[in-house]
Structure 1
């Protein structure tokens, strides 16, 4: 028995005589104890509550609450004179059950157990042959029944993979049962979760209970449980509609305002009135894949009025963690044999001996042309960039602002704090943005943050963008950045350079450098002197005359330009994003509060996984078939008899295929099944050889 006057330490001895020590929590003299006992053969959970003499206050109410899957299934008050009770397992669904002891609304103790009703659906997957040939036709008959033996309707995913290229999930670690019933309801990573859910050996059941003790602690705050329910961040979208609000200069809602919506492709126009909260709603909208809607507010009599703001309820996606595409080590490090085989099969497809040529041989055709952005200000010339996105690409992105556009088109783009300054990065490159040969007028206060820079980039709507070019390779950066310098800067120079950008307010927008700072500059030589003089003044505190990035000719540098030219002794690789607008005059903020342009997310049709069908002589098909995933159907729906039929063809790799089924019935019961298919090494002779 632990004593309150002693301290306890857990010592873990690792291989090679390494040991770690962890101090255990201090033993309290007073408190409560919650002890649960459960047996997989028993139909109930035995609960025992123990308490010290002075731990319980007689004027307080103590509750015992049982929850599972985020829902309360059991609750009762505790009588400490009868500290032992039993709770029927039948009131809980299969999964993790948490029993909590509460004093009023404050939790005191909690213990988790796993309840298994053995209610997993019975699945039969029957192949039409004991073994198959290469490119052979395969048929699987699916039948699913419930625990009562009656047929079950539901939705199920079926995947077939080549064991030589995809490592089989033999333990079910990635199955729906391990995910929904175990991993998603526990803190931390669970190693081999499938082990805990299959079999009735005493060791497995004891290990499962130990897992509940170590990783089954609560994942939410009880204060949030008793607080009023918060509105969901993402509402169910049952129809295509646009909502928003009209407010006056005082930010108060405007009732009865006429709001007009229109689009050109397809042609559409409609008008609605705002309600007492200033809210307008447009329904029965046409389906568009890449277009936008023009929205304007007017008075009740249809006249133009200076409103405070017309806002649209826009879609805000869940945050995406920053990505970094540069690999830290070669892909083959720590690779398994299946992954190596997968890469080998891809390489085989490019070798001539695996092709069976037929028909007319055509000469090689090389596509060397690039997209051209009309009216581009690219310093290298039209089409001379590493990445080019034209107006069609921008419209099809279905995003609304510059930040979303760059995040979508440039995987690896992120906004980070570097040297205490918010910085745009594209993999290893530091990024600046030009718009119509001028700097992007980013407005930031002193001591800016990454969140503020993201918010500022989000203010630039892309409705007027006709092109975006990205330059980062040496081939295209010679007109944008200086070659690496051999100058070594002192710590004071670097600090002053960083601090100047950090404490400077960037508010100027589209100011002509020559006219606003140096007076009349009518000839090109004076322009050059003024520009170089300005750069020298800007870097006077650090004594530097050459930036990393060559600033556009007649424009005041923005925050991004200043940030990219902060001094450093490290190698700085620069990337430039060039934006071209339809007006070719740079960015200007539209100050029309009664007008807004909205581009909704497009409706996407479901994509179908491609699986070839060999209909004549499979050997007549020239291209080798080395698929790693042979077949995938994410939504197999069983009929009233609980049955469904699947058909596909094998590939060119002989060996074993793993068939994996995961899904749920309409009443929420889980189904999981795995079988093997055998494929021989001879080509199948079926009745037709073309590939669909």
Structure 2
């Protein structure tokens, strides 16, 4: 009998498991998870962070940095993109320098050399992958900083124009917004209401005030506690309306109505309980008194991955759940309350700090000037050694003082600001200490800051837009070949030739739509290419359309307030140090410096063929024909224009032949050896000059290829002596100057034990040491060494990076040089 009961229980259990396995897709949590997984798969999230060698610079300095590109909620170094773009811009968003860096396992080192003629002021550096453009400029890495004018600059002495009211005392009324914790106020339900006051300069403004109801009775009071932010509690009543009466720091008074009170809805309250987060859901009386209350689902996700989900009991109108923070990665968690149909009702952001990557230094607390320093580093995660990729900067803090609340910080960037669309004032402040006060202020930021990487309704309905910008794994050259009337050329041959290295040649065929592409390329910047194409019948009567990437918008984005801050008075010490270094570098003729000269009038004529590739030198030929000589020829093909005008040369089917032996001559176009019939593909309006080499004295330098003579053709570059409106593309050929990879320089770390070391220059360093390639192995250990400068002071060592599991780390170490 017992055996039969056991079999019956097993059968019932199996039936139950089968039932649940089939209804899981209908479960609201499963549906939300599946839709979110589809969105993340279609729109992976990438982030970029740059560590710099110091917080500000002077004209003539070098900016050293390392790029970290991470992907997903775990912040692992990205293998998605292979290229990162870095731009240096002024406060008006005018690009001053722009480079592309090739990523190796998600990291790359780079630098900018600042000319000493650069005007002083506020600048910013932004970094992004091509794929990140889909999310918008607001999610780029963007960091503002100050550059002091150099000694050679004829511009201002470095004073920065500052927006009025940068001291937070506004003559213009600040903008004040109120944010109920659940998104709206509900009758009869107590709510926590946060607020944020922003001055005309975009920075937080101090305010205080009271909240009154429709009868003028005070129901709450409030004060801003941090950067214009604060909160208060309010229990609205049915039919009530509320107004905030606000007083600013300069005594200006204003009133702002609170949002309309809802008769029906839910209030979600989140409480931080140390290692846990408690979420409480309450419903309005209109819901609790109804016959059938909707089923509710609470979902907690970070960067598109769900880490917590719970569904309330059917018919329940309130529930409370306690969630361990250990479930989530470090960063912003997004808690959302859904109906059974997947409609989002309430949402709350919570910051989770589970970062356990620790960097421990082994070094002395005191050294001597010019002494060799060796610092060991041990990286551990939760006490266990880990492999990681890091970068280190050492500065003399007595020359480069730092405001740690505003400086660049890998924790603040990757875990906080990279996921927030709006401006965050002093983001590093929230990571410099972990006191209860700071954590409360960070929660105020979560209550008042928007998060919009995706819209839940679009995710649930599967209606999100397709990405416009593709992942850029490597460099590529692509485009379309058409006939002159715009029809695609299928099966056409396309060649890419390096003007400076004819051995570098690529070729491919177009597809049915006339498309072609050369992918997985790697080349340095300043490459000069020629793209030439033919149709399937080997005719050059085609038009080449090269793909280009649309430029970024001119907006300064969410860091605009930082570009209005004046810290010039705080940089007096650095200004003096930069000046001393400038004078010494000029004395020894090193650095990014120019020598200002008096105006000089040059009366020499311009060289007509200065770009000629003639190995004998421009113009050293048996005959030279310049552009102005061919201006009125009025012929369609270049060979027809030259027929009878070049001594000792005749043309047959567009190919030049020497009258000595009647064999084809070698044609060289801008230094590239081309076939003779290539001449008729060149537009006569693009020709700057033609040089004929027929004698042994001129053609002999070209060796055997010049046995029958040489015709050297030079095309226009836009700087010719005569008026020139720019090149006109010939049929089947186009010059192309793509942006390649920037080859980063190596930071020079002087050695005082080297007999030829210039100790005076080395002593004036403000960046003592920079190393973008510091890695720990599986034992978590690494070390680096350098020499102190000759000056005494407090030196500051900053190490930042990411371990193999995506944990983000930063550690600051100081020592004295006495």
Which TM class, normalised by the smaller chain length? 0.5 to 0.7
How many Å apart are 1:155 and its aligned residue?
1.0
**SS of residue paired to 1:53:** helix
How many Å apart are 1:145 and its aligned residue?
1.2
Structure 2 residue aligned with 1:656, among 794, 800, 805?
Answer: 794
Match of 1:290 in 2: 526
How many Å apart are 1:676 and its aligned residue?
0.7
In 2, distance between residues paired with 1:290 and 1:284? Answer: 18
Match of 1:97 in 2: 333
The 3 A distance-change label for structure 1 pair 617 and 316 is same
Partners of 2:750 and 2:757 within 8 A in 1 = no
Match of 1:114 in 2: 351
- Residues 66-125 of structure 1: per-residue CA shift (max 9 Å, x gap): 2213444445555451631534433321121111234556533211112222x3212111
The 3 A distance-change label for structure 1 pair 582 and 234 is farther
Structure 2 segments unaligned to the other structure (5+ residues): 1-234, 558-562, 589-594, 613-627, 629-668, 671-684, 686-716
Match of 2:545 in 1: 311
Match of 2:749 in 1: 611
Structure 2 residue aligned with 1:185, among 419, 426, 430?
Answer: 419
Structure 2 residue aligned with 1:344, among 572, 576, 580?
Answer: 576
Partners of 2:508 and 2:516 within 8 A in 1 = yes
In 2, distance between residues paired with 1:666 and 1:370? Answer: 61
Paired residues for 1:558-577 under 5 Å = none
- Residues 9-56 of structure 1: per-residue CA shift (max 9 Å, x gap): 2233333534343221111222232222331133x5434252452699
In 2, distance between residues paired with 1:649 and 1:321? Answer: 43
In 2, distance between residues paired with 1:174 and 1:604? Answer: 23
Partners of 1:134 and 1:652 within 8 A in 2 = yes
In 2, distance between residues paired with 1:594 and 1:174? Answer: 50
Structure 2 residue aligned with 1:601, among 726, 739, 742?
Answer: 739
Structure 2 residue aligned with 1:160, among 372, 394, 418?
Answer: 394
Partners of 1:356 and 1:622 within 8 A in 2 = no
In 1, distance between residues paired with 2:545 and 2:422? Answer: 41
How many Å apart are 1:625 and its aligned residue?
2.3
How many Å apart are 1:164 and its aligned residue?
1.9
**SS of residue paired to 2:262:** coil
Match of 1:432 in 2: none
In 2, distance between residues paired with 1:175 and 1:256? Answer: 52
Partners of 2:530 and 2:735 within 8 A in 1 = yes
Q: Check if 1:215 corresponds to 2:215.
A: no
Q: Check if 1:335 corresponds to 2:568.
A: yes
**SS of residue paired to 2:790:** coil
In 2, distance between residues paired with 1:106 and 1:654? Answer: 63
How many Å apart are 1:660 and its aligned residue?
1.1
Match of 1:410 in 2: none
The 3 A distance-change label for structure 1 pair 100 and 195 is same
In 1, distance between residues paired with 2:291 and 2:763? Answer: 74
More strand by share: 2
Partners of 1:332 and 1:340 within 8 A in 2 = no
In 2, distance between residues paired with 1:585 and 1:676? Answer: 61
Match of 2:766 in 1: 628
Structure 1 residue aligned with 2:267, among 33, 39, 50?
Answer: 33
Structure 2 residue aligned with 1:84, among 319, 323, 335?
Answer: 319
How many Å apart are 1:370 and its aligned residue?
9.1
In 2, distance between residues paired with 1:277 and 1:583? Answer: 42
**SS of residue paired to 2:749:** coil
Match of 2:410 in 1: 176
Partners of 2:473 and 2:520 within 8 A in 1 = no
- Residues 159-185 of structure 1: per-residue CA shift (max 9 Å, x gap): 111212222354586321122222333
**SS of residue paired to 2:356:** coil
- Residues 460-487 of structure 1: per-residue CA shift (max 9 Å, x gap): xxx99xxxxxxxxxxxxxxxxxxxxxxx
How many Å apart are 1:667 and its aligned residue?
1.0
Match of 2:666 in 1: none
Match of 1:690 in 2: none
In 1, distance between residues paired with 2:431 and 2:281? Answer: 26
How many Å apart are 1:371 and its aligned residue?
9.6
Match of 1:10 in 2: 244
In 2, distance between residues paired with 1:164 and 1:660? Answer: 15
**SS of residue paired to 2:572:** helix
**SS of residue paired to 1:242:** strand
Partners of 2:531 and 2:734 within 8 A in 1 = yes
Structure 1 segments unaligned to the other structure (5+ residues): 324-328, 358-363, 378-389, 393-435, 437-462, 465-509, 511-578, 681-692
Paired residues for 1:206-605 under 5 Å = 206-215=440-449, 218=452, 220-225=454-459, 226-228=462-464, 230-231=466-467, 233-238=469-474, 240-248=475-483, 251-267=486-502, 268-282=504-518, 287=523, 289-305=525-541, 307=542, 309-316=543-550, 318-319=552-553, 321=555, 334-337=567-570, 339-349=571-581, 375=606, 580-582=718-720, 584-587=722-725, 590=728, 592=730, 594-605=732-743
**SS of residue paired to 2:817:** strand
**SS of residue paired to 2:763:** coil
Structure 2 residue aligned with 1:131, among 355, 359, 366?
Answer: 366
Partners of 2:390 and 2:773 within 8 A in 1 = yes
Match of 2:286 in 1: 53
Partners of 1:165 and 1:342 within 8 A in 2 = yes
How many Å apart are 1:286 and its aligned residue?
8.1
In 2, distance between residues paired with 1:114 and 1:600? Answer: 43
How many Å apart are 1:679 and its aligned residue?
0.7
In 1, distance between residues paired with 2:367 and 2:292? Answer: 74
**SS of residue paired to 1:180:** helix
The 3 A distance-change label for structure 1 pair 222 and 584 is farther
How many Å apart are 1:234 and its aligned residue?
4.7
The 3 A distance-change label for structure 1 pair 285 and 9 is closer
In 2, distance between residues paired with 1:39 and 1:253? Answer: 65
Q: Check if 1:676 corresponds to 2:808.
A: no
The 3 A distance-change label for structure 1 pair 371 and 277 is farther
In 2, distance between residues paired with 1:140 and 1:636? Answer: 12
- Residues 518-559 of structure 1: per-residue CA shift (max 9 Å, x gap): xxxxxxxxxxxxxxxxxxxxxxxxxxxxxxxxxxxxxxxxxx
How many Å apart are 1:629 and its aligned residue?
1.7
How many Å apart are 1:368 and its aligned residue?
7.8
- Residues 571-591 of structure 1: per-residue CA shift (max 9 Å, x gap): xxxxxxxx9444834226736
The 3 A distance-change label for structure 1 pair 311 and 74 is farther
The 3 A distance-change label for structure 1 pair 373 and 599 is farther
- Residues 405-464 of structure 1: per-residue CA shift (max 9 Å, x gap): xxxxxxxxxxxxxxxxxxxxxxxxxxxxxxx9xxxxxxxxxxxxxxxxxxxxxxxxxx99
In 1, distance between residues paired with 2:747 and 2:418? Answer: 27
How many Å apart are 1:188 and its aligned residue?
3.9
Match of 1:22 in 2: 256
Partners of 1:376 and 1:580 within 8 A in 2 = no
How many residues were matched structurally? 465
The 3 A distance-change label for structure 1 pair 334 and 615 is same
- Residues 469-515 of structure 1: per-residue CA shift (max 9 Å, x gap): xxxxxxxxxxxxxxxxxxxxxxxxxxxxxxxxxxxxxxxxx9xxxxx
In 2, distance between residues paired with 1:304 and 1:355? Answer: 55
Partners of 1:144 and 1:151 within 8 A in 2 = yes
In 2, distance between residues paired with 1:588 and 1:183? Answer: 45
The 3 A distance-change label for structure 1 pair 59 and 643 is same
Partners of 2:718 and 2:725 within 8 A in 1 = no
In 2, distance between residues paired with 1:243 and 1:368? Answer: 46
How many Å apart are 1:594 and its aligned residue?
3.8
In 2, distance between residues paired with 1:258 and 1:349? Answer: 56
Compare 655-664 and 229-238 and name the one that shifted more.
229-238
